[in-house]
Amino acid sequence: MVESIQVGLLGLGTVGSGVVKIIEDHQDKLMHQVGCPVKVTKILVKDLEKSRQVEIKKEMLTTNVEDVIYNPDIDVVIEVMGGVEETRHHLIGALQAKKHVVTANKDLMAVYGTELLSIATENGCDLFYEASVAGGIPILRSLVDGLASDRITKMMGIVNGTTNFILTKMSKFGSAYDAVLKEAQDLGYAESDPTSDVEGLDAARKMAILARLGFSMHVDLEDVQVKGISNVTDDDISYSKRLGYTMKLIGIAQRENGKIEVAVEPTLLPESHPLASVNDEFNAVYVYGEAVGETMFYGPGAGSLPTATAVVSDVVGVMKNMRLGVNGRSAVAPQFEKQLKSEEHIYAQHFLRIRAKDQVGAFSNITSLFSEKGVSFEKILQLPIKNSNLAEIVIVTHKASKRDFDQILQRLNDLPVVDEVKSTYRVEGNGFV
């Protein structure tokens, strides 16, 4: 019988402090779950003198990573320090030293997840990473365990709280993007350099991880098509609302006939869609399986305690495997070879906002380009622009291939009656699947 589980931490920032707090405050629950105490033994920090969010004995702190990853008393290494290349090196060392690893690092797992899982299996170790996607929402364990018998065909997710906060405020109050971004930064929801969030890179990393697990394929970050929200205007949101849609930064992963598409982009959803009501910094993942049908997972996508809850739950998973003697056997090798959809096989509806000359025949010239490709319209708005000879034309198409739609856009820009193609967005969720 194991007397206690010794845990080492790499990092003691917001999430690391939350991990320490949960382990201390929830010791009775952990004892009940696994039958022995969980103790934090050693913590890697950059500065030994820095004030902390939790009370920690000074002798528990170290600036030498080897004091954690090669410590013979430590059973589980928890990585919450962030970073990619250096952190990868540390975790490889920990796994090769036969330490189980729990990480919240989406950047690392999106790029090196396949490699690290292979090393973990070779060394009979667990590598769990629930907290890397959607913070406190147990989506990865649900895909691996709860939906293990089903075939997942589509996942749509709001997996970045910063962009969801921005788009929610723009929609509710008609605010401009720059003003809401500054508010998000002032509130601590956005970094001083918000590029990773607002350009969709953070969400893309999470979608690569979700697609890898949901579709049982090697999905790389480079396989994700990415478009951010920095060019979204209050006019775009206003017109989408008039047509009955809500704009969200949506991660989409779908599989059809063995081929997949993974993308992150600003997307219009019908106001009745479950994801349309997910507001502010909250996250949600909508999953469709052939047998189970529609399911949705909702909750806080970030924050100290929500993320730390996922981390410590992974530690419990490691401990249960230790009791059963099955560590290092939980990672299932990908079942399918990756095949990406080509542009002619990626179908979606599209929102299109055009400024055109307000003259007889202009709209006919525009619609003829769509007719030539067999693309029809579901919704149309046409409004004159005050004090000009231009009109705003807003169109929502029926489903069209990405190839055909992109070709139409190229030709629209060359039409004499078109002043400017202002914006285009994907439309999803009519019928929900």
CB 204 within 8 A of CB 260: no
* Residues of the binding site for L-homoserine: 191
Nearest to 351 by CA among 425, 242, 240, 243: 425
Cα separation, 433 vs 429, in Å, equals 6
- HSE-CB of 154 using CA atoms within 13 angstroms: 15
Nearest to 278 by CA among 155, 159, 188: 159
Clarify whether 182 is annotated catalytic. Answer: no
Active-site hit among 99, 154, 206, 227: 206
**CA-to-CA dists, residue 258 to 100, 142, 187, 334, 336, angstroms:** 34, 22, 43, 13, 8
* Residues of the binding site for NADPH: 106
Nearest to 310 by CA among 83, 91, 128, 92: 128
Cα separation, 423 vs 235, in Å, equals 10
Q: Is 386 helix (H, G, I), strand (E, B) or coil?
A: coil
Looking only at the bridges linking them, the beta strands covering 127-128 and 100-103 are parallel
**Contact partners, residue 392, CB within 8 Å, separation at least 6:** 239, 353, 354, 355, 381, 382, 383, 384, 385, 422
Positive or negative, the Cα torsion across 81, 134, 424, 280? negative
CB 202 within 8 A of CB 106: yes
Q: Is 46 helix (H, G, I), strand (E, B) or coil?
A: coil
Nearest to 277 by CA among 171, 396, 348: 171
Positive or negative, the Cα torsion across 43, 192, 163, 201? negative
Amino acid identity of residue 98, one-letter, is: K
Q: What is the Cα gyration radius of the chain?
A: 24
User: Which residues form the catalytic set?
Assistant: 206
